[in-house]
Each structure stands twice: as structure tokens, then as C-alpha cells.
Structure 1
């Protein structure tokens, strides 16, 4: 019996993972976030009601499912409490069905201020385009072994001394390097203690819990944030996130054994988007870009920023399928391509200088600039696919497009999203059908 699923993005994020998690978690027992922070934005649309989540896993609309944040996630206590209260106002009670790892590194105001200062500084020659949520500096603290973790707040004296040391460290940078206002230590300390009191009953050993529950055949979904092309090791470095958003993050971010993972599905749009700066070989700038941006509502759920638009890049998807050892693929937003006269997919790269095919990845920033994408063009289907639930009901041109992607990538297309609502989905995999029964 397959009872543990990983759902992760294989582009630059914003692939529609939230909807997929919401759909597949209907009959699951636990949904687990294993990396990232509130820089993620997962949008759920159920019964025409939109819910945007940033920290809490995308299972919250199912009252029987328990949400878990693993040790690989970085958390702002203030934002976590605010999100819990936001859900409460919508009638979604999460207080007694959220579990937090004691090893979660915390985000404080000084992380956020430093994040913003760096992005706006003239000293920074290559702005990444972060969400200004303090994610990068928080992960830096973790690697530098000065992070304050969730369980450190149980001992107030210990927490007091740690926080004071860190505030002094960050205030020095803010004042002398970036010429910004410093942080008030007492205010952060008091706010943190107040927030901690509201969530400390949720803390327990996540690694033991998950390994134990998988052994007992409980259904568990691991929910990725961002996308594999933003992975700190395997993404388009340095224009990446600060965590492992590929498959390795599941193991390190929760403490489960590698043999506990039974099925891995990668989520990709039927075209590409990217927020922030960085390489984007198939990016387009014409009227089609504007059309896809408008119809696909391509604006960041966390920042509201307009997303960059491009054609589907099969060269990069092949690499992401390889490093994530995917069992199957989910294609989203097929309906956004409706009524386009033609649709392109990138099948390979050529070097601009030599005109020779490029096979290796990753590339240097200079290499990215010299890439020429080669496209295969498909005829559009000029009719609506919105809400279809059977593959054979798709227009033949849409079937041809999807079948080509499957054949080229040598992977099964197990899910196809035909709209933002939960039920607007084609399920091509019997195991997935059984999983939600």
C-alpha cells in the first residue's frame, strides 16, 4: 500500500501545488511542510471562496487532516499566529490540529529588516528579488549555528541571552553597513514570548511522529514550497531560494527515513512563470505573455508581483524529473492555453556562439545569457477545457500536446488541472484515485 506522497514543484514555484495538496489530502491523515517559510503562497479556491496560505499546509479546508511544520521550515511566530487567526475568522479552526517541530528556526524582525536592506542597497550588485520575509537571513543563522529555535523559548533566560546577542549582531550591520534604523530588543522579546504562549502546546517530536504514523499505514502528504528550480543546490543559482525545495528537503526537513517515501509527484504548469530576477530562457514579452498573465492570474500570492511568462521548458523539466526521482507528473493550467492559435514547448538549447546543442546543467550566469531555446510548435485547440475531468474529453490538439510532453520526458502524466477549483481535475492514475477515496 502506498500511503506517503511527496508533492513538489519542478519549475520556479507558483505551479499550483496548493490545489493539488488540497485535492489529494481529502482522505489523508497528515500534511507536512518540510522547507521554506512564509515566502510561499498557496492559493486554494473552493466553492468560489479563495484562501491564501503562507505557512500552514494546504490541507486546512479538510477538518479531519492534521497539519505539520517540520524542522526544515523557518517560522515567524508573529506571522504564524496571524495566519491562525486569519483562518479562525474564516471559520477554519487550526489551533488543535497543527503540529510544530521543536527544531524549527525562528524568523525575527531583524531578519526581515536585513533582507530588505540588502535588496535595496547599492552594495548589492545582483538583487535576487526576494519576498522581503527574512527567509534568507534566517537560514544563514541556521547554518552559522546562531539560530534561535522553537524549543529555545521554553527557557526564558536562555532565550533572553540568545536574542540579545543576535539583536546586537544585526543592529551593528543595520546601523554601520546599511545605515538603517536599529531593532528594539525588548519589543521583540515581549512579542515573541506572547506569540509563543499561543502555540507552544502544538510542539512535539515530528520525526518520531511521522515515522511512526507511516509504519502504521496512516496517509501522509509532504507539501513542497517554492519549486525545484529555486533549490539552493540544484536551482538556477544564485537566483534561488534559501532551502532545498527538491526531494532532499523532505528527508532533512522532517527527519523521516528515505525508504518511507513511496510516491513523488512533480507539479508543472503547461507554460512557465518566474517571480524575481534570474535566468529564464523561454521568457516571452509579446501579446501572448500579456494574455497568459491576465488569463492565468499570474500575480504572486505572497508579494502581488506580476510574474514573468514563458513557454514550457522541457530541457529544465528533464533535469528536475531526474534529481527528484519523480513517479509521475501533474500538469496545471491547461485551460489557460485555450484559444491560443499555437503553443510552443522548448525541447533543447543551443549555444549562441557555437550554435551547438547544450547538454550540461547547471550553467554559469554567463552561460545562461548565451542560451538559444529551440521550440516545437503545436496547433492550439480554440475551445474551452475548463472543468473537464476525463482525458478523452480534451480536444485532440490538447491530447497531442500532453502526450508529447509525456513521451518526451518519459514520464506518466498522472494529474491534469483544468481549472482552479478542486473538482476541475483529470486523474489518470488509479493509485491517486484510490488515495482520495
Structure 2
């Protein structure tokens, strides 16, 4: 069996989409296991940028079967829109499928997401308002609708009739919003149903059979460890588990079937939305990183909060994911910076922590303990081997390896498929 996992180690936006795309031509399947269209994966091929929100990043490799897994929440209208955009760009999408167990993001989920954020006011989480949280909430309250419900439209209509009444009551009575029309919603789904049906599969059966047949399967996560519902800076987190453990629940596979777990690390730190950010730089350094790194959300367009690399965070991700490999991205963005601080501890009320406390209030009070490394002036975007990297750059990267006790297998020095330094093989056929 050959199960590979790619996960984020910080707050998302580490470049997972690019890495999945690079590895995608070496695998038989790419399986998205959690999240929804709150993700924003950017892939650059031949200078052309493709921004994916819901489709697996392997979609650009036709030989890799792409599956949206059971743990994903799917807005079917967004799904079809992305399919249309990809096909208008001259690419085929007949290798893209959806698990019948995946839950449907309904129009009332999107409305509730907006109402709830407005209701929370200063306590808002900073969601993308795509309906992700309310959809997962319905899943666990056992009133959700699943993609497979569309196979029997009469059953779908019965479930929708029951659930919509409950949701309309909440929207109207609690938030003073406008109720959704049942007949219109049924028609809207009826209009797209026939287009969706050929893509609905039993993904658990297919993926497990593929692994049992020694096929190469790459599991792709959205968001990252610090946004994990259990181990991130709760409540400023996403509504699912974007860790290697999330693969088992979100794709329906045994942990025994996961061979390599690859953590993607941005060479500095960024965060979108609310929540503590210990190394954030609300100054010229942060502005420089944002400008040089084009740090604006692929999903929302919001400017990302920027700061220095937080190795306490990356070590946390290495531990809870069981990382076997690291991929370091956007190292080229740091070129020209004279001194580069790296956070190796949190000082909270006079005590230094080398791990992340569970209390978000404690983390919010933390002062970063920095080690400062000399920078480099060289443009490294054309470098193809480890030995060619500037010595100071190699020292910086070695610190990441040593602190996390995880080897670096790839270094990304630019946005394109060709801008990678391969240190160790991740996937070997």
C-alpha cells in the first residue's frame, strides 16, 4: 500500500496546493479529506495561475483520479462552477468524483454563517462565510443532507422539507432574516442534479480497494494544524480536522494505510482571520513580507497577517501529525532580509513554553522567544540543488529540521512546478 498525506503545519496558505500538484503526476489518486470551499489552493503551471477552492489540487493531472471524500462539505453550485472554469481553460474533468457520504452545503448554511458572525460581533471567528461551520454543525446534529441523498430525489425533498422548516425558524426568529422558499430550493437542486449524478461514487470502497491493490493515493488536506478543531487556537479554528488523523475519519481509511505524512511549512508565518498570532509583525517587516510574498487570501482576497517563522507551531504540527517529511515553501521571499528572527519559545507570565498551551488566552499573552539568523542577499529562485543554496539559507533550513526532528525533503523557491529543490524522494515508484 502507498498512502501519502499532505497537510499544513501553520494556519493554512503554506502552499499545499502547489505541492499536491507537483506530486500529483506520480500518483493514481488524489483524495481531499476535509474542509470545503473555504480553502484556497493556488497552482501555477506554465505561468498560468489556477485557484482551486473545492476541487483537489491534482485535478490538473488527468491520470490521477480526483475524489472529494466523505469528510468534505460540498457546495454543489461552487463545485460545478469550478468544473466549468477548469473546462473552459481547456482541461478535462472527467476524472473528478464526489463521495456519496460528503455533506451538502445548503443556501441556508451560507446565510447562517453570515448571521452568526454578525451576531458574535467582537467575538467573531473570522470565517469565510461560505457556510462551512453551519454545515458541519448540521452533520453532527444529524439533520444534514448528503451528496448521496441526490440519488433518490424524493428522499432528498423529504429531508429538505423537514430541515428547511427548522432553519427558517432560526433565520427568521433569531436573526430577523428572510425565510428560504422550499419550492425554489428544490427546483435549484433539481436543475443541477443530473449533472452531478455521474460524479457520485462510493469513495470509501474505491479508495480502500486502490490501496489494497498497491495504487498510489495522495490525501490532501485544507487549512492546517493551528486551525484544527481539537488542537488549534480554539475557537479561532476551522470546523474539521486538517491533520493526518483527519484522513482516517475523512476518507475512511485505516492509519495502517498511511506511509508518508508530508508537512508543508511556509518559511515565515501568515494567518487570516481572528485569533492569537505570537510572531505577527504589525510593522514594516510585516508589510515587506506581505508585499514580497503577495500574501492575500486566494478565497477571500483579504490581506494576510504576516510574521516571522514560529517553530513552536511547526513542532506542534510535527507531533500531532506524525510528520515524516517537510516541504519548505516561499524561501525565496526572505532573500534580501538582513536578519531573520525565528521563534523557539513562548514567554507567558515569566515562564517559557516550548509547546502550545491549550488556553487561547494564554497564547494571546505570549511573547516570542527569538533566535536571530543572518539572512542572504542572493536571488535563489533559479537554484535547483541544495548545494547551490547560500550557506545562511541552509543554516536557516537546518534549524527547522533540528527543532522539529523532521527531515526536509523539498524546498520551494518559486511559484511554478519547476521551482523546487528535491532533497529526498517523497514518492518513489
The TM-score with structure 2 as length reference comes to 0.98
Contact 1:387 1:425 in 2 (8 A): no
What's the counterpart of residue 33 of structure 1?
A: 32
Secondary structure of the structure 2 residue equivalent to 1:60: helix
Q: Determine the C-alpha separation between the residues in 2 that align with 1:360 and 1:407.
A: 15
Q: Determine the C-alpha separation between the residues in 1 that align with 2:227 and 2:192.
A: 30
What's the counterpart of residue 364 of structure 1?
A: 359
Contact 2:2 2:257 in 1 (8 A): no
State the 1:382 CA deviation.
Answer: 1.0
State the 1:50 CA deviation.
Answer: 0.5
State the 1:196 CA deviation.
Answer: 2.1
Q: Determine the C-alpha separation between the residues in 2 that align with 1:39 and 1:360.
A: 28
Q: Determine the C-alpha separation between the residues in 1 that align with 2:45 and 2:425.
A: 24
What's the counterpart of residue 395 of structure 2?
A: 400
Alpha-carbon RMSD: 1.2
1:198 aligns with 2:204: no
Deviations 1:104-149 (A, max 9, x none): 110011000010111122x544100000100000000000000101
What's the counterpart of residue 309 of structure 2?
A: 312
Match among 377, 380, 400 for residue 382 of structure 1 = 377
1:428 aligns with 2:423: yes
What's the counterpart of residue 5 of structure 1?
A: 4
Secondary structure of the structure 2 residue equivalent to 1:346: strand
Q: Determine the C-alpha separation between the residues in 1 that align with 2:139 and 2:313.
A: 30
What's the counterpart of residue 148 of structure 1?
A: 145
Secondary structure of the structure 2 residue equivalent to 1:59: helix
What's the counterpart of residue 54 of structure 2?
A: 55
Secondary structure of the structure 2 residue equivalent to 1:18: helix
State the 1:267 CA deviation.
Answer: 0.5
Contact 2:164 2:182 in 1 (8 A): yes
Contact 1:29 1:64 in 2 (8 A): yes
Hey, which bits of structure 1, 4+ residues long, moved more than 3 A? 359-362
State the 1:217 CA deviation.
Answer: 1.4
What's the counterpart of residue 413 of structure 1?
A: 408
Contact 1:22 1:58 in 2 (8 A): yes
What's the counterpart of residue 183 of structure 1?
A: 180
Q: Determine the C-alpha separation between the residues in 2 that align with 1:164 and 1:350.
A: 53
Contact 2:312 2:355 in 1 (8 A): no
**Greater shift after overlay, 169-178 or 132-141?**
169-178
What's the counterpart of residue 168 of structure 2?
A: 171
What's the counterpart of residue 258 of structure 2?
A: 261
Contact 2:332 2:381 in 1 (8 A): yes
Deviations 1:58-100 (A, max 9, x none): 1122121110011000001111111111111111111x21121
Secondary structure of the structure 1 residue equivalent to 2:60: coil
Secondary structure of the structure 1 residue equivalent to 2:166: helix
Q: How does 1:28-427 map to 2 (within 5 A)?
A: 28-94=27-93, 96-121=94-119, 123-351=120-348, 353=349, 355-359=350-354, 361-427=356-422
Deviations 1:151-198 (A, max 9, x none): 112222221121122221111121121112221222211111222210
Deviations 1:312-366 (A, max 9, x none): 1111211110110000111100000010111111001111x3x121245333232
Q: Structure 2: 5+ residue runs without aligned partners?
A: none
Contact 2:100 2:201 in 1 (8 A): yes
Secondary structure of the structure 1 residue equivalent to 2:58: coil
Q: Determine the C-alpha separation between the residues in 2 that align with 1:215 and 1:27.
A: 18
State the 1:204 CA deviation.
Answer: 1.6
Contact 1:236 1:362 in 2 (8 A): no
Q: Determine the C-alpha separation between the residues in 2 that align with 1:86 and 1:216.
A: 33
Deviations 1:198-225 (A, max 9, x none): 0111122111111111121111100110
**Greater shift after overlay, 417-426 or 181-190?**
181-190
Q: Structure 1: 5+ residue runs without aligned partners?
A: none
Count of residues in Structure 1 that have an aligned counterpart in Structure 2: 429
Q: Determine the C-alpha separation between the residues in 2 that align with 1:6 and 1:360.
A: 24
Contact 1:4 1:214 in 2 (8 A): yes
Secondary structure of the structure 1 residue equivalent to 2:265: strand
Q: Determine the C-alpha separation between the residues in 2 that align with 1:173 and 1:89.
A: 39
The TM-score with structure 1 as length reference comes to 0.96
